[in-house]
């Protein structure tokens, strides 16, 4: 499995680095069954995150035709005021020095990323995944309507408003779409993907290495529907 982790301006570092480390360790434990790289829509470049100016280098352009995994992180910045919309840059207003997360996520729509992500989702050999606000990037691009997905709990209403079946779970498996909730869920998401795609023994070995146990039940749209409590 080759994993492409997408970077965009304002990305959340932990959303990207946690899966990168887990999947890289999975490649070491396999050995070689998993490879991983950082990519961007624009190709090789330094990409500045939304946390303290930290930058990571994308070494290639996102290739939606390459079989494997494409993972989209969320953004880091201000949470955003109630009702603040992605196309309204509050950072330009007096007293609002930092860009909000909705603004940073919304700016991805003006790049080539939505086109590349649509091509990835149309490729039957690609599993698309997202951590935290990465689900909102996909949803705002119109790529998740009717699908089951999750995101940070503060973004579930927005996710639902785009026509997604928003699920308040830590990891949601919707077949070729696998999403994680809050920032640290990137660990759980990537460990689950290792288990699903490479095997539980590899995932368990990485859990032991990182001294971390996955949290929560992975939600899948199977089995009887629960009654209301």
Q: What domains can be seen in the chain, in order of their start residue? A: 2-220 (3.40.50.880)
Work out the number of other CB atoms within 10 angstroms of the CB of residue 217: 9
DSSP state of 226: P
Q: What is the pLDDT of residues 119-144, one digit of tens each?
A: 999 999 999 999 999 999 999 999 99
**What integer is the mean pLDDT of 190-207?**
97
d(CA 128, CA 120): 7
Half-sphere exposure at residue 174, Cβ-oriented, CA atoms within 13 angstroms = 22
Each residue's pLDDT tens digit, 80-90: 665 555 554 44
- Looking up tokens 């749209």, which residue turns up? 221
The pTM assigned to this predicted structure is: 0.92
- Judged against a pLDDT cut of 50, whether residue 149 lies above it is answered with yes
Whether the pLDDT of residue 146 is over 90: the answer is yes
Model confidence band, residue 97 (pLDDT cutoffs 50, 70, 90): very low
Q: How far is CA 92 from CA 108, 137, 180, in A?
A: 18, 22, 31
| pLDDT at residue 99 is higher than 90 | no
Q: What is the DSSP string of 88-132?
A: S-GGGSTT--S-BHHHHHHHGGGSSHHHHHHHHHH-TTEEEEEET
| Beta strands 171-173 and 177-180, pairing class | antiparallel
Q: How far apart are CA 71 and CA 8, in angstroms?
A: 12
């Amino acid at each position: 499995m080759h994993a492409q982790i997408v970077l965009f301006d304002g990305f959340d570092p932990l959303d990207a680095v946690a899966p990168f480390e887990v999947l890289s360790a999975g490649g070491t434990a396999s050995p070689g069954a998993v490879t991983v790289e950082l990519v961007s829509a624009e190709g090789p470049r330094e990409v500045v995150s939304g946390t303290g100016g930290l930058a990571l280098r994308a070494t290639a352009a996102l290739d939606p035709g390459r079989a494997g995994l494409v993972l989209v992180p969320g953004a880091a910045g201000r949470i955003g005021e109630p009702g603040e919309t992605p196309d309204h840059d509050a950072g330009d207003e007096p007293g609002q020095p930092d860009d909000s997360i909705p603004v940073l996520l919304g700016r991805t729509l003006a790049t080539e990323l939505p086109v590349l992500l649509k091509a990835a989702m149309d490729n039957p050999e690609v599993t698309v995944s997202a951590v935290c606000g990465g689900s909102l990037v996909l949803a705002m691009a119109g790529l998740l309507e009717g699908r089951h997905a999750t995101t940070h709990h503060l973004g579930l209403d927005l996710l639902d408003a785009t026509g997604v079946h928003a699920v308040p779970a830590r990891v949601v498996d919707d077949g070729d779409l696998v999403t994680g909730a809050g920032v640290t869920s990137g660990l759980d998401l990537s460990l689950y993907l290792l288990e699903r795609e490479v095997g539980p023994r590899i995932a368990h070995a990485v859990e032991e290495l990182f001294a971390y146990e996955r949290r929560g039940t992975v939600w899948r749209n199977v089995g009887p529907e629960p009654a209301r409590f």
